[in-house]
Structure 1
Amino acid sequence: MQPVYALLHGWPETPACWRGVIREVADEARMVALDLLEIGANTDGSKAALAEAVHAVVEDLGLHDVTLVGHDCGGMVAYAYLRRYELRRAVIMNTVIPGVAPWEEVRRNPYIWHFGLHAVPRLPELLVRGREREYFDYFYDVLSPAPEAVPEEARAQYAAAYASDAALKTGFDWYRAFPADAAANAEPADVTTPLLYVRGEREGGDIAAYAAGLRASGVRDVTTAVIPGAGHFAPDQCPREVWDAIRP
């Protein structure tokens, strides 16, 4: 039986961010890329609610022996999931977890200004509506080692996916839920699911500090991997290297 990988995208992307990884996998595994904009549309944006929605899909599809892989906000959902549900193994990529060190340090970083803006009710929608492509391009450019790392076709597809009022609000609600996420993650946990934490080589941040925070939060088995040459959007930028990291 093929191993199963359930893939969760981040903001401002869609399940299409995994297309390069899926091509690399070929027939080695079954890959199921979930659309958080769709399955999370009727939630409050909290990662616990999104994890519940993901769990319902996993159950409905009858997936077993699942490796849950989450990138960016999808990684926050993966963390919420492994705290609540039985899971064989998990991968969290390119993100910090609300309430888990170094969360406060990251939140204070002026270069992470968008966490605050996106949390303001209604304002980011007013500013970004109709300008999704220009706004998203800023993040693809500054968080990538080179602009072409997130290709034109992908950028156009992501902007189109967030172009509706509902989708734009859903994405910003993920940020508005950070205080609730942090409070939920402060509850004691004892997680035995093996967790691989991944960052891009060009992303910055001390990966050891992220691993230490996850262990302190109650995750017993944490290993790490660095994706050579990758920035923040590692699945888009370095699909072969991402697959080489998560496959073992």
Structure 2
Amino acid sequence: MTKLAHIQVGDWKLAVRKAGDPSMPAMVLLHGWPQTSYAWEQVLGDLGRDQYALAFDLPGVGGSQGSPQPAEKHVLADIILTAAEQIGAKDVLVAGYDVGGMVAFACARDHPARIQGAVVMNTVIPGVAPWEEVLADPRIFHFALHNVPGLPERLVAGRERAYFDFFYDIMAGNPDRLTEDAREHYVRGYSRPEALKAGFDWYRAMQKDAERNAQTAPIQVPVLYLRGDADPGVLGLDDYAEGLRQAGVERLETGTLPHSGEYAPEEAPQALIAELRRFRAALA
């Protein structure tokens, strides 16, 4: 298992898994909820052969300490990019799924001069179509639940494994790809009360994220949007692509990852590695 290093960024300490040489172009990898940077273990070493691969624990969870308030995605993006820059990252390509995909989009929208491209996977962007349709889907009940101050912490504390397993099992195309070791690692990553709250705060900030993203702005950074072909949603890839274009993305590519649901780095690691390498090469 890749060891965690720590970087101090203002009041926050960020944990990161590293592979590759800092002289190579950097790839910043961002996990979703309820996971940590451990989700990238199957792809990190391979990507590190020709890139400086950096998988961060998002602020407040796992080995990262301190949670920004509010937890808006453009704020998280700034903290993570600053940490990456402090350890020598250059020519940055940022890739994330789920909440990490929202942060990757914020990197492209709000910090374009600091990155070369963004890969957004298996997520809807707050305020960007089909945001309202996704919120209306009863299977996405947790967006509303997690937004309630204090309640999800009371319900989930001490029951993290059962609660997290529910999401892994319904959102993965093949739940067995999320191993017992990984699931236990994720539970430990959110076991501190402040870490559990940090994860729910990402949802509590989504209304502010939506208000910000609803203000259309030209996004000239190249963006690749990927979804797994085993995603259970009723909306298609074209629905998400059209929303991103309407939000200002000028250079958009889309693609599908085979045999994958929500958790691409664990469900389809080789296909994901190939897509990330292909997109990196196209940026040259």
TM-score range (shorter-chain normalised) is over 0.9
Deviation at 1:35, TM superposition (A): 1.2
| Per-residue Cα deviation, 1:139-191 (whole angstroms, up to 9, x for no partner) | 11011123212111100000011011000000000001111000010122111
Task: Report the counterpart of residue 14 of structure 2 in structure 1.
Answer: none
Alignment of 1:25-104 (within 5 A): 25-36=47-58, 37=61, 38=64, 41-85=67-111, 86=113, 87-104=115-132
In structure 1, the gaps of 5 or more residues are: none
Secondary structure of the corresponding residue to residue 247 of structure 1: helix
Amino acid at match of 2:238: A
Alignment of 1:1-248 (within 5 A): 2-36=24-58, 37=61, 38=64, 41-85=67-111, 86=113, 87-203=115-231, 204=233, 205-248=235-278
TM-score by length of 1: 0.96
Higher mean C-alpha displacement, 50-59 vs 107-116: 50-59
| Per-residue Cα deviation, 1:17-51 (whole angstroms, up to 9, x for no partner) | 01111133351222001111326623321112111
Determine which structure has greater relative contact order: mean sequence separation of CA pairs < 8 Å that are 6+ residues apart, divided by chain length: 1
Higher mean C-alpha displacement, 115-124 vs 61-70: 61-70
Higher mean C-alpha displacement, 160-169 vs 182-191: 182-191
| C-alpha separation in 1, matches of 2:65 and 2:48 | 26
| C-alpha separation in 1, matches of 2:276 and 2:137 | 29
Q: Confirm or deny: 8 A CA contact 1:47 1:77 kept in the other structure.
A: yes
Higher mean C-alpha displacement, 170-179 vs 142-151: 142-151
Deviation at 1:63, TM superposition (A): 1.3
Identity %: 44
Q: Confirm or deny: 8 A CA contact 1:25 1:243 kept in the other structure.
A: yes
Cα RMSD over matched residues? 1.3
Q: Confirm or deny: 8 A CA contact 2:54 2:84 kept in the other structure.
A: no
| C-alpha separation in 2, matches of 1:191 and 1:106 | 23
Q: Confirm or deny: 8 A CA contact 1:43 1:50 kept in the other structure.
A: no
Q: Confirm or deny: 8 A CA contact 1:39 1:54 kept in the other structure.
A: no
Secondary structure of the corresponding residue to residue 82 of structure 2: helix
Moved over 4 A (4+): none
| Per-residue Cα deviation, 1:195-232 (whole angstroms, up to 9, x for no partner) | 00010000043011111110110010110111100011
Amino acid at match of 1:228: P
Deviation at 1:247, TM superposition (A): 1.1
| C-alpha separation in 2, matches of 1:125 and 1:96 | 24
| C-alpha separation in 2, matches of 1:39 and 1:107 | 30
In structure 2, the gaps of 5 or more residues are: 1-22, 279-284
| C-alpha separation in 2, matches of 1:39 and 1:90 | 25
Q: Confirm or deny: 8 A CA contact 2:52 2:89 kept in the other structure.
A: no
Equivalent residues, number: 248
Q: Confirm or deny: 8 A CA contact 1:196 1:222 kept in the other structure.
A: yes
TM-score by length of 2: 0.84
Q: Confirm or deny: 8 A CA contact 2:68 2:76 kept in the other structure.
A: no
